[in-house]
């Protein structure tokens, strides 16, 4: 039985190779003759050969972009089959520093799928184009040919090729160099002009991870858990009829690690990051266009949302017009009306445009997206913008507590305990110092000087004492509008619940 199978397989392979070489010879003959020969050859082949061919060309019918299937096959073969190919070629990936190994032209790769044997060939043929090409090699069209026994037709077309597509896409995602995108300025530029992307990108190489992020371990774990649950919840989101996306609001004073946390999130989930500069967006239509151009598995970030667009100011003015009672001031928690969409004051992105961006019908395109807003002043934001469902999770990044300090001490000094820890713990309970400032004190002072843990910690104690004195001096002067003090009050209630939110040096609130 096995010997019989081998004989058939060998014969099939030989026939498939012959037909493939035949198609290569044809490509160098005059067009009319080639067509006739091709018809004869196909008839002959179908008479004698039980094998079928499927060709997957590099460019689709429209010839502008490379076919998705071709790219997936390329990735699939490079990953799954290169081990079996005898001739391989290595290239530097387009956006990556990694070497990509793929099957060399005219080489054969054998694959098996549910007991069926499938042969793959990579080849290229010269295209007689009417268009003059500026780029060498542009007239060459690459293609893959898959050959299989006709009794496996349903299996290959119905199951194997979809499997190759899915696996190939997964390999592409695994091997890709993640990217950091930023939106191009819109002045003098038409977002609908073809051939020009609305986003520019650079490789995303931020080294921050949750392990190096200084915050309370329990809160950190809760965030990691939430992110991982989101990543794996495709079916759940489909079941409950929700777009597969999640919003996070990171708020807290400057230097408390909001941007660092975004980088850690991207590294944890292996997502791209789209850093959206809202002030460079002309209007709501352009904002929507930007959203459509983002891909799945990405984090869309709008930093300092309260400064990006004067949502509060516009709303206050609208509010004033309508109610003739509210002040120009942001008015904190007062509900406000939407901004005037027709008013042209540099940017026409309105609150309603932004809300649409987050959870309008368009926001469901593609799926698997996280949207993050950061702000130093949560209270300035419109409640509609940050309500649950839009910003599902509110994370307060606050001044450095002792637990956060221990993470920094571990990162910078490789220590978990020290005789000065007690004093530092007490001082951190009394003084507001951001993780950025604490980290600065733990950095070695000079390159020549050997890193000295004692000196670093003593320096930190000194800085904390100095900050304490300054705070006391301010208090003495009767200055009570200091933002730090307000935050300090909430920090001193570490771990206690207030208005349904966890208050602490690292606070996390969630709707679930
Ligand atoms: N929680 C933290 N854990 C580790 N490092 C931190 C943390 N917070 C701040 N840092 C350090 O301080 C620097 C500044 O932090 P980051 O830019 O994340 O602050 P931010 O909250 O985004 O500030 P801003 O509101 O000004 O944008 C970072 O480069 C990082 O090294
Ligand atoms: Mg920041």
The residue whose CA is least distant from atom 17 of ligand 1 is: 259
327 shares a domain with 345? yes
Ligand that lies nearest to the alpha carbon of residue 220, given by its number in the listed order: 1
222 shares a domain with 107? no
Q: What angle do CA 392, 336, 364 make, to 5 degrees?
A: 35
Cβ contact 253:399 at 8 Å: yes
**Total domain count, the chain:** 3
Our measurement of the distance from residue 45's CA atom to the centroid of its chain's CA atoms, rounded to an integer in Å, reads 48
Residue 65's SS3 state is: coil
Q: Where are the alpha helices (DSSP H) in 327-482?
A: 351-359, 383-386, 402-413, 421-430, 435-442, 453-476
- Report whether pLDDT(57) > 50: yes
pTM: 0.68
| 398 CA → ligand 1 middle, Å | 10
For residue 343, count CB atoms less than 10 angstroms from its CB and return exposed for 0-12, middle for 13-18, buried for 19 or more. exposed
Helix (H) or strand (E) holding 9: helix 2-26
Residue-level pLDDT at 507: 38
Residue-level pLDDT at 163: 92
| 301 CA → ligand 1 middle, Å | 16
Q: Which atom of ligand 1 is nearest to the CA of 404?
A: 1
Q: Ligand 1 pocket test: which of 209, 248, 251, 259 has the largest number of ligand atoms within 8 Å of its C-beta?
A: 259
Provide residues with CB under 6 Å of ligand 1: 213-215, 254-260, 376, 397, 435-436, 439
Residue-level pLDDT at 349: 82
Ligand that lies nearest to the alpha carbon of residue 214, given by its number in the listed order: 1
158 shares a domain with 29? yes
Cβ contact 291:357 at 8 Å: yes
169 shares a domain with 56? yes
**Token representation of residue 322:** 């309508």
422 shares a domain with 443? yes
Q: Dihedral sign, CA of 300, 396, 264, 240?
A: negative
| 256 CA → ligand 1 middle, Å | 5
**Token representation of residue 158:** 């119905």
pLDDT in tens, 94-120: 555 555 566 666 667 888 899 999 998
Mean pLDDT (the chain) is 75
299 shares a domain with 270? yes
Flag whether 93 is in a domain: yes
Q: In this structure, what DSSP letter does residue 319 have?
A: H
Of the listed ranges 40-49, 198-207, 417-426, the least confidently predicted one is: 40-49
d(CA 333, CA 400): 27
Cβ contact 186:282 at 8 Å: yes
389 shares a domain with 273? yes
In angstroms, the Cα distances linking 268 to 79, 369, 436 are 23, 14, 22
The residue whose CA is least distant from atom 31 of ligand 1 is: 436
**Looking at residues 353-358, what average pLDDT do you find?**
81
| 62 CA → ligand 2 middle, Å | 43
Name the percent of the chain lying above pLDDT 70: 65
Phi, psi dihedrals of residue 179, rounded to the nearest 5°? -125, 150
Structural domain span for residue 297: 181-397
Q: In this structure, what DSSP letter does residue 157 have?
A: I
């Amino acid at each position: 039985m096995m010997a019989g199978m081998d004989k058939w397989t060998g014969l099939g392979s030989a026939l498939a190779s012959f037909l493939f070489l035949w198609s290569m010879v044809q490509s160098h003959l005059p067009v009319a003759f080639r067509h006739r020969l091709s018809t004869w050859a196909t008839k002959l082949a179908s008479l004698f050969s039980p094998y079928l061919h499927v060709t997957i060309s590099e460019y689709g019918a429209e010839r502008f972009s490379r076919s998705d299937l071709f790219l997936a096959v390329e990735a699939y073969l490079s990953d799954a089959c290169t081990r079996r190919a005898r001739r391989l070629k290595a290239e530097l990936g387009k956006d990556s520093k990694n070497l990509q190994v793929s099957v060399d032209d005219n080489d054969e790769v054998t694959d098996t799928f549910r007991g069926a044997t499938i042969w793959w060939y990579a080849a290229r043929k010269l295209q007689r184009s009417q268009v003059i090409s500026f780029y060498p090699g542009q007239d060459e069209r690459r293609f893959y040919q898959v050959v299989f026994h006709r009794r496996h037709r349903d299996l290959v077309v119905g199951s194997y090729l979809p499997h190759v597509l899915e696996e190939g896409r997964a390999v592409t995602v695994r091997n890709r160099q993640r990217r950091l995108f930023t939106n191009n300025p819109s002045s003098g530029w038409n977002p609908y002009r073809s051939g020009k992307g609305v986003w520019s990108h650079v490789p995303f190489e931020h080294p921050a991870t949750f392990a190096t992020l200084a915050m309370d371990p329990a809160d950190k774990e809760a965030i990691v858990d939430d992110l991982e649950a989101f990543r794996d919840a495709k079916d759940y989101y489909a079941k409950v009829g929700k777009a597969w996306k999640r919003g996070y609001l990171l708020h807290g004073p400057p230097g408390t690690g909001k941007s660092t946390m975004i980088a850690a999130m991207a590294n944890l989930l292996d997502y791209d990051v789209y850093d959206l500069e809202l002030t460079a967006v002309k209007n709501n239509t352009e904002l929507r266009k930007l959203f459509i151009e983002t891909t799945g598995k990405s984090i869309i970030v709008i930093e300092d949302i309260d400064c990006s667009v004067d949502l509060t100011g516009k709303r206050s003015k609208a509010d004033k017009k309508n109610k003739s009672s509210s002040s120009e001031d942001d008015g904190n928690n007062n509900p406000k009306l939407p901004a005037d969409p027709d008013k042209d004051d540099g940017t026409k992105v309105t609150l309603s445009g932004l809300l649409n961006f987050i959870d309008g019908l368009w926001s469901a395109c593609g799926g698997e997206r996280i949207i993050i807003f950061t702000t130093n002043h949560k209270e300035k934001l419109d409640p509609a913008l940050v309500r649950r469902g839009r910003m599902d999770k509110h994370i307060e990044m606050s001044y450095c507590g002792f637990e956060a300090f221990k993470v920094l001490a571990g990162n910078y000094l490789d220590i978990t305990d020290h005789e000065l820890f007690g004093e530092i713990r007490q001082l951190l309970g009394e003084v507001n110092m951001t993780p950025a400032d604490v980290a600065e004190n733990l950095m070695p002072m000079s390159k020549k000087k050997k890193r000295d843990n004692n000196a670093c910690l003593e320096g930190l104690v000194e800085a904390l004492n100095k900050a304490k004195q300054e705070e006391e001096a301010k208090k003495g002067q009767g200055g009570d509008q200091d933002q730090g003090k307000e935050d300090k009050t909430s920090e001193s209630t570490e771990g206690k619940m207030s208005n349904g939110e966890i208050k602490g040096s690292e606070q996390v609130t969630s709707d679930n």
